Amino acid sequence: MATLLPAILSKDTDEVHEKIKFLESIPEITEVHIDFEDGKFVPNTTVLPKDLFGLKTRLKIDAHMMVTEPQAYFHDLEHLGADTVDVHFESFNGFRELLNAASNLRTMKMRAAVVINPETDIAVFQAVAPQIDIMFVMSVYPGFQGKPFLPQSLDRIHSLRKSYPGGIIQIDGGISRANIEAVRGHGADRIVVGSGIWQNMDVKKTIYELLELIK
Question: 191-201 pLDDT, tens per residue?
Answer: 999 999 999 99
pLDDT for 145 equals 76
Q: Do 1 and 215 form a contact (C-beta atoms < 8 A)?
A: yes
Class of 3-213 per CATH?
A: alpha beta
Q: Do 194 and 32 form a contact (C-beta atoms < 8 A)?
A: no
Q: Which residues pair with 118 in a beta bridge?
A: none
Q: For residue 169, which phi and psi values (nearest 5 degrees)? A: -115, 130
Average pLDDT, rounded, for the chain:
97
Q: Which residue has the higher pLDDT, 1 or 183?
A: 183
pLDDT band at 142 (very low <50, low <70, confident <90, very high): confident
pLDDT for 116 equals 98
pLDDT for 170 equals 99
pLDDT for 97 equals 98
What is the residue extent of each domain of the chain?
3-213
The C-alpha atoms of residue 130 and residue 193 are separated, in whole angstroms, by 27
Question: 79-109 pLDDT, tens per residue?
Answer: 999 999 999 999 999 999 999 999 999 999 9
